[in-house]
Structure formats: C-alpha cells, structure tokens
Amino acid sequence: MTAHRTARITLGLGLAGSLALTGCGLTGDSSQEKDGANQAAEQQGHNGGDGGSDQKPEDVVKKAFDAWNKQTETSSTFRVTASDKQVDELLDTFDDGSSESVREDTERIWDEIRSTELTLRARSTNGEPLQDVTHIDDMDVAFDYVRDGEELVQLMETGDMEVYFRADVQTLLDEFGGSTAPSSEEIQAQLDALPKELSWVEDVYTAKWLGFDPEMVRAAFDDSEAGRIEQQVDPETAEKFEKALFEHSDVERNGDEYTMKIKVKQFVQQEDELVDGMLEDARQADPDAELPKDGDEIAEYLTDETFDVVYTIQEGELRTVGVDPMQAVDLIDPPEDASKDERETFEKAKDLELPMEVEYEDEVGDFTAPKDAYQITEEDLSLFFGGGTQSTA
C-alpha cells in the first residue's frame, strides 16, 4: 500500500476519532448559537429527567453537550471495557505465529490494560467554565493512575502553583521492569548509601507525597509560558464542527443511552472547509508527508458505514461516552493490491470489538495539599542530577 493511499485512509480514520472527541463535548460550546430545536429542548427540560421522552434524541444530546461545556469542575475516568472473549478474539485474529511465551506476555499486557483506570480531575478556581480557563494557575488539576483499585501514580497541582506527586515505584518496577528490575532489597541498599542531603529520595520509593518548591515551579512556568493552556480548536471552528456533527449523524435512544451514528464518508464529502482545515493542520505537522489534496480523495477509501459513539445521559448530564475503535475497520475498504491473506484478516477484523469508555463524575475529590510532604528545591535537583545518584546506579 502506497504512502499516499495510507495517508488517505489514516486521515479518514483520524476524522472519525475527531468526530468522536467533538461528540464528547470537548471542543466547543454550542450554547451561543442554539438552533430552534435545542432551545425547545431546554424549555421542555423541566421535569428533572432528560427533558422528557417527547424530545428528539439529538436534542437531549445537544443539551447535555451544552451543560458539559459550562462545567467548572469535573472528573473523567478512562478505561478499556473489553471482555476476556473480545481480547482473545483480537489476539487470535492478529496472531502471526508467535511463540507461547510471547502470547502469554501479550495477554498479560492486555490484562494490565483492562485493570487500569486513568482519571483526570479538574476544577476552575476563577469561576470560569473549565473550557475557558487559559492558565493552569486558574485551576486545580490532578491525575490518578490506578491499577486494580490501587493508586500507583498521583500528580496534583493545587493552590498557587503547588505541585505534588507520589508513585508506588516498587510496584511499577515489578510490573514493567521484568527480570531486570531491581528487588526491594537492592533498592533499599542503594537508598541507604545515599548522602544525607538526598534522604528525600527514599520518599519517592516508599510512595510518599513529595512537592516542588512553588517559587521554582512558578518561575519555570512564567519563563516558558508552559502554564498556558492552548485551545486546540478555536471556538468558531468548534461550533461549526459540532453543528456538522449533528447534520451528518443520526441519534438513537435506548433508555439512558444515546447512540450517535456518524456518517463519516458523508461528512468528508460535504464539509470541505473543516476537512481542508484538518489537511492543513496535518501538512503543518509533517510538511514532507504525502497527503490527499481534499476530502474527495479521502472518501475514495471510505465506506458508507457509520462510526457509532454511545452517550449515557442521566438527569440531563453526560455520564459516560463509549466507543469501539475497531469500528474503524468497517469504514474502509481493503486496498486493491491486498493479498488474499490480508483480505481474510481484514474481513475477520470487522467482527472484532474493543470497547472503551470515559466516565464523568461531578465529585472531583480533595485538592488539599498533602501535609508534611517534602518540598523539592532547585538545589535538591541539582544535587540529584549532578552526581548525588551515583550510588544508586
């Protein structure tokens, strides 16, 4: 398959992903220019539910998007929800005759992925909706990496640029280091050999909270403007994207679940301005890439199948967004020069499933600075990276 053909297919699939993200309410606020149907949805939404069963499903979803975009705090958790059977079928289909040990390692990795949850918690501290916050100093934010219910990594920024972290280093080494990972006894021996000035390093290995000197953090952000939160999509484009999303999709309801069936090929063929913008962004990211000139070239390899995104909406609030990336296989035809084996694998892949979801919650948890956390200074870092770690090598 040529690079040019690959680019066309990849852009088509990338568009499906962009549409799904837009559908999550992550790229804009349509509340400024609501159409008549959405205004009617708000007027009917007075019974404490989703606005009443007489609403069109798409109006319920629009209203939930608008509510999500106005939030000043939220918690979002990503997880892969695929079953054992779904993962086994995926591995069987793409098995290239690897050894038993390789297969076991692959299964172990997938088990770890499915037992992992990534949570991002955030709240605005200046009263503005989160999507309008432009600097990290105007929000509290935390990231949690959880495995089997245990918090392995936590990172938090709170207050006036106060940054804290903790990590279960030994567990992480055991899981990702393999046979080369040092034992707990070996690590303790290395820690015991550290100079007194680096005694705080032991807190890293014992999963205690550590902080960074706020003045050092603030200076770093001010010098580099790294604290600025760049808008990935300008508001006007985001509104156009969301409007087009509904124009080129059907929304079906089943209880609290609303399935948006996005007509990707139709979108590509009819939304020239938005697709051209995506192509221009791709060219700027990689000037040497072979890219199609317009959406028509992308559409050549797209089918009429839809890309489905499932939203759970309760009491007018967006609670989960579910998507199966394996649907992408249904969106494309195999290349003309594909071999018989490749075509067979392609057809089998159409039956595979790998569901995943993002869950949204109103409770964002505690952002209180950990008590007694050691504050790492610039001097500490200089000593650590300037030779103080030789005994831990």
pLDDT tens for 233-291 read 677 888 888 899 999 999 999 999 999 999 999 999 999 899 888 888 888 888 888 88
Annotate 182-220 with b (16+ C-beta within 10 A) or e (fewer).
Answer: eeeeebeebbeebeeebebbbebbebebbbbbeebbbee
HSE-up of residue 252 (Cα within 13 Å, Cβ side): 7
Between these two residues, 6 and 114, which has the higher pLDDT value?
114
Task: Tell me which amino acid residue 55 is.
Answer: Q
Interhelix angle for 272-285 vs 3-23, to 10°? 120
Neighbours of 63 (CB within 10 A): 26
Residue 384 has pLDDT above 60, yes or no: yes
Checking DSSP bridges between strand 210-212 and strand 162-167, what pairing results, if any?
A: antiparallel
Q: Is pLDDT at 303 greater than 50 in this prediction?
A: yes
Enumerate the H helices of the chain as residue ranges: 3-23, 36-44, 57-69, 84-93, 100-114, 169-176, 184-192, 201-205, 214-224, 235-247, 264-270, 272-285, 295-299, 340-349, 378-383
Taking alpha carbons only, the member of 250, 245, 243 closest to residue 35 is 243
Q: Which two tokens stand for residue 207?
A: 């999963």
Q: How confident is the model at residue 219 (pLDDT cuts 50, 70, 90)?
A: confident
Degrees (nearest 5) of the Cα angle 64, 65, 68? Answer: 85
Q: Is the pLDDT of residue 149 over 50?
A: yes
In this prediction, residue 1 carries a pLDDT of: 47
- State the pLDDT at residue 143: 96
Question: Picking from 85-89, 152-156, 217-221, 370-374, which range would have the lowest pLDDT averaged per residue?
Answer: 217-221
Residue pair 277/237 in contact by the 8 Å Cβ criterion = yes
Q: Could you tell me how many residues make up the chain? A: 393
pLDDT at 260: 96
pLDDT recorded at residue 20: 53
DSSP structure class, residue 332: B
Going by C-beta distance under 8 Å and a sequence separation of 6 or more, which residues neighbour residue 69?
25, 28, 29, 30, 31, 129, 131
**Which pTM was predicted?**
0.82
